[in-house]
Structure formats: structure tokens, C-alpha cells
Structure 1
Amino acid sequence: MVMVGIDGSDAGARAAAYASGLARRQGARLVVVFVAVPSLWIAVANPALVLAQEETFRELTAEARRQVRRGADELGLSVTFVCRRGDPCTQLGRVADKVRADLVVVGADGGRWRRWLPGSMVNRLVRAARWPVVVVP
């Protein structure tokens, strides 16, 4: 089973395209994980904005689900869509463990050098080393 993490970014879209093609060629199931990162600053600065953030999260999730379904139908793939909220590395790791992923695909998070900084999501995910990780630029 191939698992891919998406977040609405171009890098996430490239990772999804790569994972979809790989799953199709291998005849594997694809699990697409959408992770939204809530802003703690919004809750601190203006608690009333938490409702707006929640609505935005729901809209982004619905749009991601529609895009995943459309792509799965076009490619004839068996896809499971999972939505999580929180730290991307932690959430992707939890889902990968739960679904027993054979491979985790993610997009590069940021510029060429940022992804290799000690605290970057990609670096932390690769260092977890419980599954092979493919980083799509």
C-alpha cells in the first residue's frame, strides 16, 4: 500500500501525482492523507477567528476530497481519503503505522535547503525510519 501526504500545496500535488502513478503501476491501494495545521496564534490573538479557521478547514478538506475522488476515478484507483489535523510529521506517521503503509510519499516542504534542516517535516519523517519515504521535489 502506498500512502501520500497532501496539504494543498504544489509540492503536495506533485507527491500525489507520483504516488498515484506508482500505485496504479503496482496495482496497490492508495491512501491519501490531508493534514491541516491549525494556527495557535489565531486562538491567542482573537478567539472569534477560531470559527473562521474551522470553516476554512472544512472547505479545504471538502475540496481535497473532491480532487482525490476525481483523480481516483480517472485512474481507476482504489483510494482511501484520511483527514487529520495537527503536526504533519506526527499525523502522517500515525496514519502510516495504522494502515501499515509499505511506502510514504511526501512533497518537499519548502526550498531546496529547508527540507534538510533538523526540524523540517521531511527530515523528521525520514528519520522515523519505520517505512521507506519518497520525497518528491
Structure 2
Amino acid sequence: MGEPYPAEEYQPRAAILAGRPAAIVVGVDGSDASLRAAAYAVGLARRQQAPLVLVYVRSQPSGLLSAVDGGGAGIVAVIDVEDRIEAELLDAFRQALDGIDAQLIIRSGQPSAVLSEVAHEVQAGAVIVGRSESLAHRLTGSVPRRLVRCGRWPVTVVP
């Protein structure tokens, strides 16, 4: 066996071109697992002196919810919960990320697609997400699984 490759060859292309560590993207949704993932990403960004991009993806109410919910109370409740989570994330973002090059991106859509888009835009070196806590994701596929299958970035799933 030959000599191992130098560590420089394992750095993401964006980091080599810019002469700095590549961005770390973390998905947050207010769940315990996503908050643990965010804490892990903050520590990693501090240690590597890398930019941190937190991504909150607001869901789009499905057509089925609209059909079942004639008065729209269910959709209003979903939007209210998302507004509350967004406000909590903004407060936590302002307090906890002192001294880190960080930004919070809020978008609507399908979580794995939005995380992939953002990771591509910022030329991420890693994507960090919390483990899915939903039983339904075992049947339909979880966000971490979809990101791993995408295979563009190293994906860390925090339990």
C-alpha cells in the first residue's frame, strides 16, 4: 500500500478555491433532534472557524389539509406554529452565535430539496441534520436519508 493522500486533497473544492473552510449547513425545525444538530454544528463551526448556515424550512400546507379543513383553521394553526418556531429560532440565533460567521435562511418547500439548494448555493463542505423522530418517515423516507442519497456533501445525522 502506498502513502495516504495528504489532508489537503480531502478538503472541499470551495475551501481550496477560497482559501478558507467550507460552510457548514444545518437544518433546524424546532425539534429536539434539530436543536442538538444545531448545537453540534455551532461547535464544529467554532472549531473549524467555518461559516455556519442555519436553514429553517417552512412547510407548504397540503391540498389534503385544505380539502378536509373547510374553514381554514388547520392551515392557520400550522402557520401560527411555524411563526412561533421562526421567532424562537431568530431569538436563539441572535443570542447563541456570538463570534461565529453565521446566517439564518428561512424558506418554504420540501426540507431535503431546500437543504440541498442552500448547500449548493453556499458551496457547503458538510450538511448536518437531526435524526427524524417521525414514524411515518420510516415508510416515506426521511430528510437525512434523502440527503445521504443525494451524495453531494458529507451528511452528519445527529441523534
Fold similarity call, TM over 0.5: yes
Out of 124, 131, 134, which is 2:153 matched to?
A: 131
Post-superposition Cα deviations, 1:79-117, rounded to whole Å, max 9, x if no partner, equal 100012221111111111111111100011127x98776
- Aligned residue runs from structure 1 range 1-137, under 5 A: 1-40=23-62, 41-46=64-69, 47-49=71-73, 50-73=75-98, 76-110=99-133, 119-137=141-159
The runs of 5 or more residues in structure 1 that have no matched partner are none
Q: Bigger CA drift: 17-26 or 31-40? A: 31-40
Where does the alignment leave 5 or more consecutive residues of structure 2 unmatched? 1-22
Amino acid corresponding to residue 158 of structure 2 in structure 1: V
Deviations 1:22-50 (A, max 9, x none): 00011111000011223314322225233
Tell me the SS of whatever aligns to 2:54.
strand
Structure whose alpha-carbon radius of gyration is higher: 2
Shift of 1:8: 0.4
Question: What TM-score do the two structures reach when normalised by structure 1?
Answer: 0.86
| Corresponding residue pairs, total | 134
TM-score for both structures, normalised by structure 2: 0.75
Going from structure 1 to structure 2, the CA distance change for 1:121 and 1:20 (only over 3 Å counts) comes to: same
Q: Give the secondary structure class of the aligned counterpart of 1:125.
A: helix
Q: Determine if contact 1:116/1:123 at 8 Å carries over to the other structure.
A: no
Higher alpha-carbon deviation: 62-71 or 43-52: 43-52
- Does the Cα contact within 8 Å between 1:108 and 1:115 map onto a contact in 2? no
Deviations 1:38-87 (A, max 9, x none): 331432222523344333322321211111221102xx211100012221
Distance 1:24 1:8 in 2: 22
**CA distance in 2: counterparts of 1:13 and 1:42, whole angstroms:** 27
How far apart in 2 are the matches of 1:36 and 1:102? 24
Do the aligned partners of 1:6 and 1:34 also contact (CA within 8 Å) in 2?
Answer: yes
Matched with 2:20 is none
User: Equivalent pairs: percent with the same residue?
Assistant: 41
Change (3 A) 1:31 1:72: same
